[in-house]
Every structure is written in structure tokens, then in C-alpha cells.
Amino acid sequence: MLFDNVRITLTAGNGGNGCVSFHREKYVSHGGPDGGDGGRGGSIIFRIDEGMNTLTYYKYKRKFKAENGGDGAKKKFHGKNGEDLILPVPPGTIIKDAESGLVIQDMSTVDEYRICKGGKGGWGNKHFATPTRQIPRFAKAGIEGEEKEVILELKLIADVGFVGLPNVGKSSLLSAISAARPKVADYHFTTLEPSIGVVELSDERAFVAADMPGLIEGASYGLGLGHEFLRHVDRCRLLIHVVDVSGREGRDPIADIELINNELMQYSPELASRKQIIAANKIDLVEDESDLDAFRQYADEKGYLVVYISAVTGKNVKTLVETAYTELTALPPIKVYEAEYVEETFDDPTNHDFTVKNVNGVFVVEGDWLYRVMGNINFGDRESLMYFQRVLRNNGVIKALEEKGATDGDTVFIYDFEFDFVT
């Protein structure tokens, strides 16, 4: 079976921490701070691989993490930048947000897309030296890399899609008009995954055709191959509806057309409205032309463009290909899925939201921005600790604690930092 839908977790690399270091050298009495910056964390990038046609690469591994940046070092040495993680995907892959199902990026329009950005490296203490702070004993921690859970969904890129019930000759037709060699046999569901072939007419005239697995009644609700088939028709600009008009298997071609079109309508009215050419296959097995009178009348009433063919003998196959190409020239380009997902911004410097809770007499303070600020604080250094106290006061944390009833001597927890409250 075609592996064309998968849910994976992605984590970019964290930025490396800045270094706290002071220059030490003989005969240099005032070396000063020389802590280097941390390296950037590796990003995660999806890149188109023209040689792939399934998502089997992600079948057994669902979690991917890029390399972290290296920590800064003394003598102003910069930490090593983390390597980007390149993940290959086949053309036509759509990236969706796992939680909302919204489209993040359609990979049919780009060669590569950065889905998770690596964290920035932290500054070393060399950046924090001032005329009044000549011995900074603190540095900046690296920022965590972005993390996302996404769904990869493959929708094949083809101009023309062959639709029809099982065993009506779709695979035989694709073999006859292209170099594709899908499995062909005289039993139902020979084709279990889409096959793609390039149909070359002459010179620069060509189009891509896809033989889709046969539909059955109820496919729009997931029966049979269900959505595994239907999602791949989404991009097709033109549908060639292959139907068996020979009656050798006791089929009614009119009922077959109605059944398939009903399944398309149930799945997507927009898909059902696409231009169709009826390929009336196995005409070589029709012994009495009058048997087709009812079918011809039906096609005329519906306004269908019908080409009577035999995929086995090649009768009128060239006519069908020429007709398909002519129709394609008047149709809009292949469908592209616009991005719907709007990413939340967590690094907004103006967002200083936090919560204060009284848990059995202990005051607990939480806030994303506070967690990041604490990564830059050296709680063993007086200057750094005084800076943290100013941050709490300037951003309303002290006031919020007082409003919650905190008094001198009460215990306050801000993540893993515990202190006694003092007004």
C-alpha cells in the first residue's frame, strides 16, 4: 500500500550557552571578561527529493531533532553552530499543523522549507562589561529551538487522473500511452497505489497522467481504498473517466459512471465539477454496436465528451491523448494549497504575561518570558541577582504577589528558584 500520510514530531536544536570567563595571562593585570557566545542551534528543513514518490522514509521513525549549538568558551571562542537537519519529501507533499489540521506549506511551490528554526546562541559575558560593571559574572543562556508536530500528506502532482471502478482498464491505458508499467491483471484491485507516467505527444507537448486505484461504492466514506485514492485526485486538472462498455462482466456503464461521480461529489463537490473525458474502454469486445445506443444517448444528454477506445489493441488511444492535451491547454494550472496556519509568536518582547498562584501558602509564579530571563541569571552573583529583582519589580511581578497576599517571609517559587518574599 502507498504510504502517503504520516504524523511526526520535529525539534530544532537549542542555542548554546554563553560563557563566563576572564582573561588570565602573565603580565596582563586587567584582562577583563572574554567569555564567548554560544552557537546557533540547527534548524529542520524539508527539501524536495524528485526520486521519492512515497513517505516511507517516515514509516519507522517519527521523531526528529536537529543538533544543538555548542557552548561558548574562554578567549572569546564562539560555540559551534548546530548542523541543520534536512528531511526529504516527494513532490506534492503538504505540511499541516497536527493539532489544527491547517496547511503550513504546500511543497509543490518550493524546493525547500524551514519548518523549525534553531535557537539563537547566548551571549558570553564579554557583552556585559560596562564602565560600572567591569567584572560581569553572568552570561546569556541559549534559546530553545522551535518544536512542532506536523502531518505530512502526499497529494500526487499530475495533470490528468484516471478514475473508474476496478478492472476497467486504467492501468492498461497508462501502459499504452506512457513508459509507466503498473501491474496489469484480470482481477479486481490489481492497482493498490497510484502510478504516474509522462505522456509525450511530440516535441514539447506532454502531460503527466496518474492511474488511481479503483474506487468502490462508499469510497468517499473511507471504504475500500477510500481516501487513499481520493486525496491524489485533488490536484488533477482533468479527469479521464475509464468505463468498461463491453458488458462482459455484467456491468452497466451508465450505472458505473453515476456511481463514481457520486463518490467524487460526496468527497468534494469541487472535485466532481472538474472537466471529464469518458474513455469508453474495451470497445474491441463489443459485438453489436446497437448495444451502445443507450450509452450514447446518456452521454449526449449529459454533454460528456466520449472517446471509444481499446487500451489493449490501441484503437483510438492516440485520439484520446490528443483530446486530453487540447482540453488541458484551456484549463487552469495544477491546484496549489495556500498556507492557512498562522504561527504564534512566543518571542514577542512586549508579551510579559505571567500567573501567580497561592498553593497552600506558597506563591508560585510562571511565565514563558520569566523562564527565558532566568536562563540568563547567575543567582550566585550579586549584580546579576539585583538585575533579576529589578525585572520582577518593573514587570509587575512584585505587585501581583502583594495583591495575592504575599507578606515578608512568605516562600515564592519561580520555576526552580525559591526565595523569601521581602517588600
Same domain, 189 and 140: no
204 and 131 co-located in one domain:
no
| Residue the block writes with cell 546569556 | 140
The whole-model pTM stands at 0.73
164 plus 283 within the same structural domain: yes
Distance, in Å, from the CA atom of 187 to the CA atom of 176, rounded to the nearest integer, reads 19
Q: Are residues 380 and 293 in the same domain?
A: no
The pLDDT of residue 220 is 44
3-state secondary structure of 317: helix
Q: Do 10 and 113 lie in a common domain?
A: yes
DSSP 256-315: HHHHHHHHHHHH-HHHHTSEEEEEEE-GGG-S-GGGGHHHHHHHHHHT-EEEE--TTT-T
- Asked, for residue 347, whether it belongs to a domain, the answer is no
Residue 334 lies in a domain: no
Give the amino acid at 315.
Answer: K
CATH number for 254: 3.40.50.300
Which CATH number covers residue 368?
3.30.300.350
Higher pLDDT, 235 or 180: 235
What are the CA-CA distances from residue 82 to residues 44, 48, 240 (Å)?
A: 11, 22, 49
Average pLDDT over residues 140-157: 90
- Asked if residue 245 and residue 142 are part of one domain, the reply reads no
Q: What is the pLDDT of residue 227?
A: 52
77 beta partners? 73
Total number of domains in the chain:
3
DSSP tally for the chain: helices H, then strands E: 9, 18
Query: What's the CA gap between 405 and 417, in Å, rounded?
Result: 20
Distance between CA atoms of residues 337 and 103, nearest Å = 7
Q: What is the pLDDT of residue 225?
A: 46
Burial profile 147-172: b = 16 or more Cβ within 10 angstroms, e = fewer: ebebbbbbbbbbbbbbbbbbbbbbbb
Last residue of a domain, one of 311, 328, 345: 328
Q: What is the pLDDT of residue 320?
A: 95
Which pLDDT score, from 0 to 100, does residue 64 have? 97
Q: Is residue 1 part of a domain?
A: yes
Do residues 62 and 139 both lie within one domain? Answer: yes
Residue 183 has pLDDT above 70, yes or no: no
pLDDT confidence bin for 329, thresholds 50/70/90: very high
Looking at residue 314, its amino acid is G
Determine the pLDDT at residue 247. Answer: 80
Contact (Cβ atoms closer than 8 angstroms) between residue 34 and residue 22: yes
Query: Which of 49-58, 214-223, 322-331, 384-393 is least confident?
Result: 214-223
Q: What is the pLDDT of residue 104?
A: 95
Same domain, 142 and 196: no
Lowest-confidence region among 357-361, 385-389, 406-410: 385-389
C-alpha cell at 172: 492498461
pLDDT for the residue numbered 86:
97
Residue 65, C-alpha cell as written in the block: 531533532
Q: Is 116 exposed, middle or buried (0-12, 13-18, 19+ CB in 10 A)?
A: buried
**Percentage, residues of the chain above pLDDT 90:** 42
Does residue 335 lie within any of the structural domains? no
Q: What is the pLDDT of residues 67-119, one digit of tens each?
A: 999 999 999 899 999 999 999 999 989 999 999 999 999 998 899 999 999 99
Q: Is 384 contained in some domain?
A: yes
Mark which of 123, 154, 185 sits at the end of a domain.
154
Nearest to 90 by CA among 123, 56, 59: 56
Q: Which helix (H) or strand (E) segment is 198 a member of?
A: strand 195-202
Which one of 154, 172, 189 terminates a domain?
Answer: 154
Residue 138 lies in a domain: yes
Higher pLDDT: 412 or 373? It is 412
The rounded radius of gyration (Å) of the Cα atoms in the chain is: 32
Is the same domain home to 127 and 189? no
Mean pLDDT of the chain: 85
- Do the strands 238-244 and 160-163 form a parallel or antiparallel pair, or are they unpaired? parallel
| Cα dist from 370 to 280, 352, 365, 374, 415, whole Å | 69, 8, 9, 6, 9
Helix (H, G, I), strand (E, B) or coil at 1: coil
Q: Give me the residue label for grid cell 469508453.
A: 280
- Partnered with residue 160 across adjacent β-strands are 209, 238
**C-alpha cell of residue 133:** 560593571
Q: Is the pLDDT of residue 1 over 70?
A: no
Mean pLDDT (whole number) for 196-208: 85
345 is a domain residue: no
**Same-domain status, 175 and 324:** yes
Domain-embedded: residue 339: no
* Same domain for 148 and 20: yes
Are residues 23 and 119 located together in one domain of the fold? yes
Give the residue numbers spanning the domain of 366: 355-420
β-sheet bridge partners, residue 306: 278
The answer to whether 200 and 209 have CB atoms below 8 angstroms apart is no
Name the phi and psi angles at 38, rounded to 5: -75, 155
> What's the pLDDT tens digit per position in 412-422?
999 888 888 88
Binned at pLDDT 50, 70 and 90, residue 277 comes out as very high
CATH number of the domain encompassing residue 133: 2.70.210.12
Q: How far apart are CA 193 and CA 376, in angstroms?
A: 54
